[in-house]
Amino acid sequence: MGYQQAEFMRTLPAALHGYPHTIEDGLIRVQLPSGELHITLGEQQQRRIALLSLPWLPVTFDYGAIPEPEFRTFLQQFDLYFRKGGG
């Protein structure tokens, strides 16, 4: 994602829509109705295009036994909070 970790963490509470969650060492555990979703944050990185430097934060979602339709619904809502304007 094109975010710095601090920026991601500021946006996260709104994106979780009140779902109970815990944060520990780059692992975010979110309690959904059908189970626990794990969101893992990687090391902050930079993408360089000529002289332009953009933040990049690897984010991994592990939805385990959560049914795919429930995860997709969550992800669509989550994604709305992390979109950046443009165009």
Domain assignment present for 25: yes
Rg (CA), the chain: 14
Domain assignment present for 35: yes
CATH of the domain at 12: 3.30.1370
- Interval 27-51: pLDDT, tens: 999 999 999 999 999 999 999 999 9
* The predicted structure's pLDDT at residue 1: 74
- Interval 16-26: pLDDT, tens: 999 999 999 88
Q: Where are the beta strands (DSSP E) in the chain?
A: 21-24, 27-32, 35-41, 45-49, 52-56, 59-62
Domain assignment present for 87: no
pTM of full prediction above 0.75 = yes
